[in-house]
């Protein structure tokens, strides 16, 4: 009996010794806890102060600790933080994430997240999720997050986006998929609530607008994909509120791009023209501004050279006169 008790005490002592208690940095907003360093792995015992609704684990600014290491975000860690509503933890080497149902905002960008664990039975509250710059290949978990309004998935390894993944997100307004590698995204299953859609720098090959209705879409960026054609008439029918589009695709030739631009301009949609940007770089009298290539000097080069030469002559003459005056004054003393 005594032996057992000693063992128990010993175990308790070891556990206590390995527990880390974290303190928040001074911050003028009472509900926000800012921490520069935490370390957490599955099974670790960590404790946090109570009374905070938001945790922000930021990259260390001092030399005391170089980086945080939180390999897993699980139920135990969330419970030790006293279930905050908002969590930001970038660059902490996170690989596995279990999303708590009551979390409202989650920023887990710049990590190594490969999988996100969600349960189909739960009612997820999250409206803002940032998982940019991670290692996601599969995004099936997204279909459970039906309250999402902003979703960042850029710079991952997403190779396929099944139609059923995005269609349940009926409140989604901003979707960022830049630099992934899917060949198709079904416009039919994009939520009608979308305002902002960006999947530039993916490898998408086809784009189909039949039966598509995105009445709120204002911003579209699909440049640097592999489209060989884009039907602008169909695009404008599908997305009648469009205001700004980026469509540059190297497989669409310049003359076709000019037609596209004319059609968009006739419909008051601003188009950012990359061919012009290239042209602008090689013309010294032009500069690129607000998506347009504009001429900055009208003066021919010969006249500019003459003006420059005249200025030099005048400056030299003035200097000479000043020197003569100095010498003259010196001699008169």
Dihedral class, residue 83 (left if φ above 0, else alpha if ψ from -120 to 50, else beta): left
Out of 82, 157, 256, 277, point to the residue binding ligand NAG (CB under 6 A). Answer: 256
Closer CB to ligand NAG, residue 74 or residue 149? 74
In the chain, helix, strand, coil percent, each to 5? 30, 20, 55
Binding part of the chain for ligand NAG, among 134-142, 170-178, 251-259, 277-285 by CB under 6 A, reads 251-259
Site string for ligand NAG, 82-111 (x = CB under 6 A): -----------x----x-------------
Closer CB to ligand NAG, residue 98 or residue 181? 98
Q: Quote the tokens at residue 157.
A: 């390894």
Question: What is the nearest approach in angstroms of ligand NAG to the Cβ of residue 228?
Answer: 7
Q: What one-character DSSP code corresponds to residue 101?
A: T
The size of the interface with ligand NAG (CB under 6 A), counted in residues, is: 21
**In whole angstroms, what is the distance from residue 206 CA to residue 227 CA?**
6
Question: What is the nearest approach in angstroms of ligand NAG to the Cβ of residue 260?
Answer: 10
Question: What is the nearest approach in angstroms of ligand NAG to the Cβ of residue 281?
Answer: 22
Q: Quote the tokens at residue 329.
A: 């004054």
Is residue 123 within the footprint of ligand NAG (CB under 6 A)? no
Is residue 310 within the footprint of ligand NAG (CB under 6 A)? no
Closer CB to ligand NAG, residue 140 or residue 285? 140
Is residue 184 within the footprint of ligand NAG (CB under 6 A)? no
- HSE at residue 121, side-chain half, CA atoms within 13 A, is 0
Asked if residue 199 lies in contact with residue 207, where contact means CB atoms within 8 angstroms, the answer is no
Asked if residue 5 lies in contact with residue 27, where contact means CB atoms within 8 angstroms, the answer is no
Binding part of the chain for ligand NAG, among 6-14, 67-75, 128-136, 158-166 by CB under 6 A, reads 67-75
Q: Tell me whether residue 51 is exposed, middle or buried, using C-beta atoms within 10 angstroms of its C-beta: 0 to 12, 13 to 18, 19 or more.
A: exposed
Q: Quote the tokens at residue 243.
A: 């205001």
Q: Quote the tokens at residue 245.
A: 């589009």
Closer CB to ligand NAG, residue 41 or residue 305? 41
Footprint on residues 4-63 left by ligand NAG (CB under 6 A): 41
Is residue 253 within the footprint of ligand NAG (CB under 6 A)? yes
Q: Which residues pair with 216 in a beta bridge?
A: none
Give residue for tokens 């006169």.
321
Residues that bind ligand NAG (CB under 6 A): 41, 69, 71, 74-75, 93, 98, 117, 119, 210-211, 229, 231, 233-234, 237, 253, 255-256, 267-268
């Amino acid at each position: 009996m005594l032996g057992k008790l000693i063992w128990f005490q010993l175990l308790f002592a070891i556990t206590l010794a390995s527990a880390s208690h974290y303190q928040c940095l001074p911050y003028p907003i009472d509900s926000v806890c800012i921490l520069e360093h935490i370390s957490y792995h599955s099974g670790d015992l960590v404790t946090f102060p109570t009374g905070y609704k938001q945790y922000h684990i930021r990259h260390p600014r001092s030399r005391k600790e170089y980086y945080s290491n939180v390999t897993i975000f699980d139920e135990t860690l969330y419970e030790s933080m006293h279930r905050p509503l908002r969590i930001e933890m970038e660059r902490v080497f996170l690989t596995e994430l279990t999303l708590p149902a009551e979390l409202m905002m989650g920023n887990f960008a710049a990590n190594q997240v490969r999988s996100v664990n969600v349960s189909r039975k739960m009612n997820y509250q999250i409206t803002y999720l940032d998982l940019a710059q991670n290692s996601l290949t599969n995004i099936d978990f997204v279909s459970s997050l039906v309250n999402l309004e902003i979703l960042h998935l850029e710079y991952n390894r997403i190779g396929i986006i099944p139609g059923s993944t995005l269609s349940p997100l009926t409140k989604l307004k901003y979707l960022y998929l830049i630099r992934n590698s899917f060949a198709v995204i079904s416009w039919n299953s994009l939520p009608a609530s979308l305002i902002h859609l960006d999947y530039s720098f993916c490898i998408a090959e086809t784009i189909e607008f039949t039966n598509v209705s995105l009445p709120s879409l204002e911003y579209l960026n699909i440049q640097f994909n592999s489209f060989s054609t884009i039907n602008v008439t169909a695009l404008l029918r599908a997305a009648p509120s469009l205001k700004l589009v980026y469509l540059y695709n190297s497989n669409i030739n310049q003359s076709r791009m000019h037609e596209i631009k004319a059609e968009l301009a006739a419909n008051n949609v601003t188009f950012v023209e990359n061919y012009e940007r290239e042209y602008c770089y090689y013309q010294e009298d032009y500069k690129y501004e607000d998506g347009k290539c504009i001429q900055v000097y009208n003066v021919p080069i010969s006249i500019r050279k003459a003006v420059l030469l005249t200025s030099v002559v005048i400056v030299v003459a003035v200097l000479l006169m000043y020197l003569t005056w100095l010498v003259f004054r010196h001699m008169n003393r």
